[in-house]
Amino acid sequence: MTDLVQFTTQQRINLPARLLKGLEWFDKPEATGEILALMKLDEPGRLSLLSWRVHSPAVLQRRQELVERAEDEQEALEALILLDDRYFRIQIERTGRLLLPLPALAHLYGEGPFYHPLYVVRARDRIELWSQTYRNQRISVSSHLLEDLP
């Protein structure tokens, strides 16, 4: 399922309720009432929102391991920088309202301009945000499962 959304204010979008419905990590907030997500910057123009509860422990554990090794190992330091640049903890309001951090906007739009409409895609247990450019690249690629269609 896919919807096209506009920014409501600078850096804010509303995730469509029909795409959030039945998404377990959205329907079952933290004990504090917060809805937390792990934002992962995928390839340029695309990012994913994943369950914080399910996916953050592995990311946080790896980060701690890299912090311990980074003082002595250049490769660990570079991996730590990459991890910190790729993953974010974000909060989503009960209404689906989401504030996108500036690194996420830069990742989606490149040099800008920011705030063009975004495609919101429900993919099993995650939500993906796609820029117009990324979406156009995706639909230009064919699938053998669609070859017999007009």
What is the tens place of the pLDDT at every residue in 9-25?
Answer: 888 999 999 999 999 99
pLDDT band, residue 29 (cuts 50/70/90):
confident
Residues 116 and 129 sit within 8 Å (Cβ to Cβ) = no
**β-bridge pairing 7-9 and 12-14:** antiparallel
Domain of 110? 2-53+87-141
Contacts of 119 (CB under 8 A, 6+ apart): 2, 3, 4, 5, 129, 130, 131, 132, 135
Number of domains present in the structure of the chain: 1
* Average pLDDT score over the chain: 91
Q: How far apart are the first and last CA of the chain?
A: 21
Choose the weakest-confidence range: 26-30, 43-47, 50-54, 86-90.
26-30
Q: Is residue 35 part of a domain?
A: yes
Whether residue 12 lies inside any domain: the answer is yes
Q: What is the pLDDT of residue 142?
A: 76
The confidence score (pLDDT) of residue 105 equals 93
| Banded pLDDT at 77 (limits 50, 70, 90) | very high
CATH number of the domain encompassing residue 19:
3.40.1550.20
Whether residue 119 is contained in a domain is answered as: yes
Sheet holding 7-9, edge to edge: 2-5, 118-123, 126-130, 46-51, 35-41, 87-92, 97-99, 12-14, 7-9
CB 2 within 8 A of CB 121: yes
Query: What span, in angstroms and rounded, lies between the C-alpha atoms of 18 and 9?
Result: 21
Residue 68 located in a structural domain = no
When pLDDT is cut at 50, 70 and 90, the band that residue 74 belongs to is very high
pLDDT(65) > 90:
yes
